[in-house]
Structure 1
Amino acid sequence: MAINAPTPSYSQIPDIRLEDYLDDKLQSSTDFENLDSLLASVEVQRSQLQAQLDDATRELEDARRASQDHQGGVSRSINEFNALQESIDVRLKIVAESSAPDEAIRRLEQPMKQLRKVELAYQYVSLLHDVENLRLEARSHLPQSPKAALQSYSRLKKLSMRLRELQGAADQAATHLVNHVEGTTENLWEEMKNTMSKELEHVLKERNWPQGIDTGAEMDTEWLQCFEKLIDLQAPEVVYSNKVVSLLPFEVMAKPFILWFQFQFMGNNATSGPQSFGTFCVPQFLALIDKWEGFFRDNVGYVLASRFQDTKVRGLSVYMDPACALITVLLPVMREKIDTLVQHGLKNPQFLSSLMVQLMDLDDEIRLRFNYDGGDPDQGWAGLTSEVLERYFDDWFKAEKDFALERYHVIMNSPDARNMDYDYSSAGKMKPTFGAVRVTDLLKSVTSQYERVRRFSHKLRFLIDIQLEILDDYHDRFKDSLDAYYTITSTLGRTLHGVTKEQAAALEGTGAFETLCKVLGSSDHIIATLKDWSNEEFFVSLWEQLQMRAKHTHSDGNIATGMSYENVKDKTSADISSDGDSGILFDETIAAYARRRKAAEEYLVSALVDSHQKAFRPYFAKAHWTTISDDTHLDTSQLSVTPELDEPLKILKRNLTFLTSTLSAAVYRRVWREVLEKLQDAIWTTVLMAQNFTSVGAAQFARDLEAIASLIDRHIPNSSIALSTLRDGARLLNLPLEAADGAISLQQASDRAFTDNMEAKKLLAELDIESLTPANARKILQRRVETSE
């Protein structure tokens, strides 16, 4: 039931929520009994709400006051900041105009430097203290425990290396400190080695080494223990070193050997002289190694294997083979001996030359006899020779070049240098001059001097500046000889330069042929020799190295030290940078000599042709080919040779005989083939095509040709075929006037030849004549007097 409650004075609009509350609380009459409690409850709630409202009002007021205070604080802060900024700007302006800061900095510099020096000094002292402690710690373990000593030494070594690295980055600062640490490290290492070495020396002294030790004896336990301690001490150095290290125990045991060597070969004894090096020093040095080789291998070979087998040096004989380790220790004293010999050799070039050969022999003996690789299993030991040449190659090269050139000039100036060496080869081979043979022998000896040199640039210098230089000079002599020959024999040359009686006499008879054969045979000898050398292992290897370098060198660069690409190319071969297999080391030289050989051969052919032209001149002038005879069936074999042909046959025989002893079979045939062709042309033109013939004349002409062909075939079998055209012409010219037994008569042949070409060809085929053309056949038939009547 709804109750009409009084409306509050503060509002004229009824509160719906109040009505709902009263309706909820006063639903029956009994509810009025609780009205007081209800009013009390309402009052409590009102009081609570009023309290909350008062708290909210206070908080709102506080927030408003705080906001106002904060806003005022921000404003004050902004004002203070602006004031501070203005103050800073003013002070900066004052500072900028003032020198006070610079003065303050200058005042502080010196104290700061002193402070840094104090700090640096403290660090220096600390580092030096650590270095000294490591040194003392390492020394304390010797000689009982070399491995423990190595630990301290290794730390000191690493510190030394690290300081050196840091010094580079610090522009070489702290030089004294770095040097001190390095020196301490090196001194410690030497002290460690000396300490351990003295222990072994004491053991060796007790055993009277080496006099009291037989080469077949065994080392006792104490001896081996000392040996192993030294190996253990040095093992890290061996493994991590980039160069060959001599093993300490071998250095100790080799001291008596070194003292003996110095006494024998570096003192005032007769065996210490330079001339005794090859006869005494080298043989006894090798004998010493050979004597103790077995002793060291049998006793300490397993020790070296156990220490280095599983390391990176396991493939180096200088550490794995006791004999090679012994050689490594002994080589320094040999180097010392060699240095004194080289100094003597610099003043005596001839001795220096022989010394280098002896050194190469020594290197080969050490490599081959003891399998010594010098710590380089891939390339092998460079040898003592290479060490000497690194410093004195130019001196040795100059000496060798002077000797070679001097010997070359002696050869050229010898009386028989230009004479033919007929005994050099068998019949059918080219005959060079004595000079050519000696020059190639000289060049071979030069090769033997440098073929064992290891460095490529050194080999190339010998090849180009000695051997090819000699060959070039010799080639120029050939060229001058041919030019002189041309001047003497040519009309233009005789007109311009004139000819002496001696020069003309020298070319009389076979003189011209001999002059040309000397050039021809000698050039051929040089070419054959160079081609043979090009197939030898040494020159093949040199050529391959040259090609490899040329491919990686620009045309304006150097292939080797002091040798440009173009210069080497001009001297050797134009194919040095090609990718194919063409080319050899002596291409350019062979080509030059081949040109001289070709020119000499051409001159020889011309000389023979000229000789035959002069000899046959009376025969060519003979006009008695028209002799008449009553015998119409002449047998040419019954005729004698024309008297005018006797002298030409003698000249021809002389020329054939002379050349057969100087030229090879191939050249001999080639030359005479061309000469006979020229002779055939001359006889064809001046006799067969120029003269008229009777039957007797034709038969005589055929007889003469048979004599010439017979002479040629006796010296050059089957070479008369070069006259086949001329001989076929003579056969046609000798057709009988009257045919018998079905043969073709002269008139029949003439009628058929002049019928037409087809009939002429048939005629020639029936006569088995292949070299003549129908036109030539008709011309020949016209030369018979009988056909022209």
Structure 2
Amino acid sequence: MAALAIPPSASQSHHATVVPSDRSNVIVFDETIDVDEDVTDFFDARFSSREDLANIKSVLQQQAAIANDLNQKLQDSKTTTAQVLKQAQNASKSALDRLQDLESSALGVEEQMENSESFASGKNKRDQRSLVDELGDLQTRVQALEDAKHYILTVSRTQKLISESKELLQTSVESALIPYGSLVELSNNTKVMLSGHGTKLESFLSASTESLLQDFKASLSKKFQASLDAIGWPKPIPRPFTIPDDKHDDFERSFKEILLLQEPTYGALDRSGDKPYPALLPIELMAAPLILRFKYHFEGNRPTNRPDKPEWYLNHVLELIKDHSPFLQEYVQIIVQETDYKEYDVKVNGPPILSVKFMRKERKIRLSAPTMLSSPEILSHAIYETLRFDKTLRESEFYFPPGQTTDWQGTVQVYLGNREWLKAWLRVEKEFASARYTQIIEDSDAWKPAYEDMAEKEYIIPTKSAEKLMDLLEIITERYRPLPVLEHRTFLLDIQLDILIDYHRHIRGLVDQYESLTYSFVRAMPGVASAEEINTMGIDGLRNLCQWLSSAEYISSTLKDWGEDVFFLELYKEISERAQKISNPLHSENDDSDEDYTLKKQMDANGTIFDDSIKGYSQLSKRIQELIVSSVSKEVFDSMRAYVSLRSWPQIEFSAPDSGSTLLPPVLDYTSSQHENDDVSPELYQPLNIFSHSLEFLATTLPTKHFTALYRQISPQMQDFFWHKIIMKNSFSELGGLQFARDIRIGVFGASRRWIKKPENYHRKLRDACILLSLQSAKVNSPPMLSFDQEDQENSASKHKNKDVNAAPVYATRTLAQIMAVLFDEDLEVDTVKHKLEEIGVLQLGINEAKDVIRRRVECWR
């Protein structure tokens, strides 16, 4: 608003020195006058109360007279100014004439020019400046009067609009809002015109607008409260909602009337954004007594206000929702649908009353959380209960804030949005997990099987520590699965990965200790082994290894299942999209090559959150399996010293045959358990006993799949041992070869047949060597043997007649001489030789390997 300056008196106007300044200050009689202050004092003096406004007409007339007087003075000043300017023009013309006459005198011309310029430029311009400044001052005073007039008119219009609105409110709320809207528009326009300088007029208009709105609310709230009392609110209203028509009409009418104040209170509803809509005014009034009861019970000194029992007030809110939702959804919702606020669909977005209740509950959280920092366990419990509360609202009440399109983060965000509270919570969660993990590991039964005598052998039986560990991780996951923010879920994932890393390191340390004791120098000294070293021997050692293997395998398989869970898949996707990588040092023992790393990066899109952990435990499982294989093999091989030292293989011969008897060695059949009366070499008893007990323990402890995998690794070592230590180190007679074949068939294969259906299939080279070493010799008292072709022709018909598709293949019987003739015949094709070997059952050995075995027979001269 422009400033207003008091005009000087007539006696002062000719002596005032006026310098133009800004609109707010004017210099009159060498004194600076604050125009705004003068205007303010002017109005404060004349209009100290609203009753003084009745004199405004006379004041306006007086000021109009002053303005006319000032206008007359302005006209006089303009006339005087015109005369002065005309005189200046005449003087300039006269000076030019004199310059033409005095061209011969330079000094005179210069002095004349100087006088002319001085006069033209106005060096003696006191009178001119006084006139200009006086004109500016008069214009400022006129503007101040105009502003004062506008000020008074604005105040008068404001009072008129207020009186009109209050009068119309008695008959129609919609009609009363028309002058109210005009008042709001007047206030906004005034603020724009005054540029928001915070003048008293702006404050007056804002206060008047707010006061009028509050009067509306008070009047309509009183009517609405009367309708609520009539229907029995805030008591739960049960179905069916049998409310009399007159009470229903009063409730509906007052509900819609107060809803007309929704836009004046909160502004127009923004339907384009992603912010929750404000609560409806009538719902706020309905929630007021519920909030009061909540505050009474949970924010005062009542016994119900306990920081360690957040579930009390959370359950209280859920009970309120349960009690009042039917009425809100089935009764109030119908009324809301008839208004401009159809977006407030309580059946989809949840009862609108929740918005108000959440405000109160969140306030409760902010009040109680600081007191929980000294007891982090209580804080953790409160966050857990709040997560449960949010989950119930999402799943049971289908709550979704009206107007919000993104996922609702829940009330737990009040806790987690505060960095101090978040750090305290994460610290206590890590401490809890660490303490629980320590209890699991230090339990005396940590490495015992979690289940005894399980009939099902298809799955690994975990140890108690592995099962409890995964139970702990599952509890952590389920407790905090509803966390809405990725950052918080990754923090909890770090807790889980830390536990998995610690458990992996613990098992790896036990395996390292076992390996160091197994291969220590003291272990090699009989009778000097310590108690710890004894635990690495025999069945005790296998038991420890199997317990660690079961733990690693169980965790690895469980993590594979978890990796496919929707929760972890979504978490992995979010982390990948944000280019975050959760480090895990489980597989740091074996650094990937550049090619492996490139392949891994390419496969990340199809990976899971636990890929690194699974890889670490799988590598540990593989290492333990190698130790089991090494332990069984070493125990058996160490006990075979006497068997390896046998030198009687070439001396075993036939006893004297009866006259006319036909001496033929038995055909070896590795697919049956016949020849029960045959016996193995006595030196093999102890190794077979160790081998059999080891297999029995592994078969009864591990699932069939794992046992078979271990046997598949043990069999090559057994085969190589017999090949290099027995076969290639000795010579064999015919019966010596038969005895060795019996040791393998009845001893080694027989010890395995209880758990492995066809153990000879895992020792194919050893089986083939036994066939060659037990070939019949061509002795002088032996009947003549047919050639390959002759015997094939004679036996062909009988073989086809008695053919059984389920029976084992029938191999031809050949003598050592026949096989030697085939093997050492340089003219035969390689395929022919292989075919002849296959006819006697030698399927795995190459030609050179078969020659090496045949040379171990004492009868072989090649």
Q: Output the TM-score relative to the length of structure 2.
A: 0.69
What is the distance in 1 between the residues matched to 2:637 and 2:459? Answer: 28
For residue 821 of structure 2, the aligned residue among 751, 763, 766 is 751
For residue 726 of structure 1, the aligned residue among 757, 766, 782 is 766
Q: Is this contact kept in 2: 1:440–1:526, CA < 8 A?
A: yes
- Post-superposition offset of 1:676: 0.7
Q: Is 1:142 the equivalent of 2:142?
A: no
Matches within 5 A, 1:496-535: 501-535=530-564
Counterpart in the other structure of 2:483: 453
Counterpart in the other structure of 1:602: 626
Q: Which one-letter code corresponds to 1:745 in the other structure?
A: T
Counterpart in the other structure of 1:542: 571
What is the distance in 1 between the residues matched to 2:613 and 2:305? Answer: 46
Which has the higher mean CA deviation after the structures are superposed, 123-132 or 284-293? 123-132
Matches within 5 A, 1:371-770: 371-376=398-403, 378-391=405-418, 392-423=421-452, 426-464=456-494, 466-490=495-519, 501-550=530-579, 565=580, 581-625=605-649, 626-630=651-655, 633-635=664-666, 637=675, 638-707=677-746, 708-738=748-778, 742=786, 743-756=813-826, 758=829, 760-770=833-843
Q: Is this contact kept in 1: 2:349–2:400, CA < 8 A?
A: no
Q: How many residues align?
A: 684
Counterpart in the other structure of 2:222: 198
What is the distance in 2 between the residues matched to 1:503 and 1:629? Answer: 51
- Post-superposition offset of 1:701: 0.4
Q: Is this contact kept in 1: 2:771–2:841, CA < 8 A?
A: no
- Post-superposition offset of 1:235: 4.8
- Post-superposition offset of 1:159: 6.8
Counterpart in the other structure of 2:294: 261
- Post-superposition offset of 1:265: 4.2
Which consecutive unaligned segments of at least 5 residues does structure 2 have?
A: 1-95, 104-108, 588-596, 658-662, 669-674, 787-812
Equivalent position SS for 1:454: coil
- Post-superposition offset of 1:254: 3.1
- Post-superposition offset of 1:414: 1.4
Counterpart in the other structure of 1:324: 351
- Post-superposition offset of 1:703: 0.6
- Post-superposition offset of 1:165: 8.8
What is the distance in 2 between the residues matched to 1:646 and 1:109? Answer: 134
What is the distance in 2 between the residues matched to 1:260 and 1:176? Answer: 41
Which has the higher mean CA deviation after the structures are superposed, 612-621 or 156-165? 156-165
Relative distance call for 1:437 and 1:779 in structure 2 (3 A) is same
Matches within 5 A, 1:114-263: 138-142=165-169, 144-154=171-181, 174=198, 185-205=209-229, 209-210=233-234, 216-218=241-243, 219-235=247-263, 237=266, 239-240=268-269, 243-263=276-296
What is the distance in 2 between the residues matched to 1:583 and 1:296? Answer: 47
Q: Is 1:288 the equivalent of 2:320?
A: yes
Deviations 1:510-566 (A, max 9, x none): 33333333332222222211111111111112122222222xxxxxxxxxxxxxx45
Relative distance call for 1:273 and 1:762 in structure 2 (3 A) is closer
What is the distance in 2 between the residues matched to 1:79 and 1:321? Answer: 101
What is the distance in 1 between the residues matched to 2:309 and 2:462? Answer: 41
Q: Which one-letter code corresponds to 1:618 in the other structure?
A: A
Equivalent position SS for 2:169: coil
Counterpart in the other structure of 1:370: 397
What is the distance in 1 between the residues matched to 2:860 and 2:601? Answer: 71
Relative distance call for 1:368 and 1:687 in structure 2 (3 A) is closer
Q: Is this contact kept in 2: 1:300–1:322, CA < 8 A?
A: no
Which has the higher mean CA deviation after the structures are superposed, 437-446 or 743-752? 743-752
Q: Is this contact kept in 2: 1:142–1:149, CA < 8 A?
A: yes
- Post-superposition offset of 1:99: 13
- Post-superposition offset of 1:358: 2.3
Matches within 5 A, 1:300-319: 300-308=332-340, 314-317=342-345
Q: Output the TM-score relative to the length of structure 1.
A: 0.75
Q: Which one-letter code corresponds to 2:738 in the other structure?
A: A
- Post-superposition offset of 1:606: 2.3
- Post-superposition offset of 1:79: 9.4
- Post-superposition offset of 1:164: 8.4
What is the distance in 1 between the residues matched to 2:519 and 2:385? Answer: 55
Greater radius of gyration (CA): 1
Alignment RMSD:
4.5
Deviations 1:406-425 (A, max 9, x none): 11111112112233435497
What is the distance in 2 between the residues matched to 1:152 and 1:603? Answer: 92
Which has the higher mean CA deviation after the structures are superposed, 585-594 or 257-266? 257-266
What is the distance in 1 between the residues matched to 2:682 and 2:189? Answer: 108
Q: Is this contact kept in 2: 1:487–1:493, CA < 8 A?
A: no
- Post-superposition offset of 1:770: 1.4
Q: Is 1:771 the equivalent of 2:801?
A: no
What is the distance in 2 between the residues matched to 1:600 and 1:116? Answer: 102
- Post-superposition offset of 1:329: 3.1
Q: Which one-letter code corresponds to 1:488 in the other structure?
A: L
Q: Is this contact kept in 1: 2:584–2:613, CA < 8 A?
A: no
For residue 358 of structure 1, the aligned residue among 365, 371, 385 is 385
Q: Which one-letter code corresponds to 1:711 in the other structure?
A: A
Which consecutive unaligned segments of at least 5 residues does structure 1 have?
A: 1-74, 551-564
Equivalent position SS for 1:510: helix
Which has the higher mean CA deviation after the structures are superposed, 755-764 or 216-225? 755-764
Deviations 1:165-195 (A, max 9, x none): 999xx8x854988777666655544443223
- Post-superposition offset of 1:446: 0.6
Equivalent position SS for 2:720: helix
Q: Is this contact kept in 1: 2:362–2:414, CA < 8 A?
A: no
- Post-superposition offset of 1:209: 4.1
What is the distance in 1 between the residues matched to 2:476 and 2:199? Answer: 52
What is the distance in 2 between the residues matched to 1:753 and 1:176? Answer: 122
- Post-superposition offset of 1:469: 1.4
Equivalent position SS for 1:371: coil
Equivalent position SS for 2:446: coil
What is the distance in 2 between the residues matched to 1:220 and 1:330? Answer: 25
Q: Which one-letter code corresponds to 1:231 in the other structure?
A: L
Matches within 5 A, 1:64-83: none
- Post-superposition offset of 1:650: 1.0
Q: Is this contact kept in 2: 1:238–1:245, CA < 8 A?
A: no
Percent of pairs identical after alignment?
24
What is the distance in 2 between the residues matched to 1:574 and 1:439? Answer: 33
What is the distance in 1 between the residues matched to 2:192 and 2:768? Answer: 98
Relative distance call for 1:116 and 1:760 in structure 2 (3 A) is farther
What is the distance in 1 between the residues matched to 2:601 and 2:853? Answer: 60
Relative distance call for 1:746 and 1:381 in structure 2 (3 A) is closer
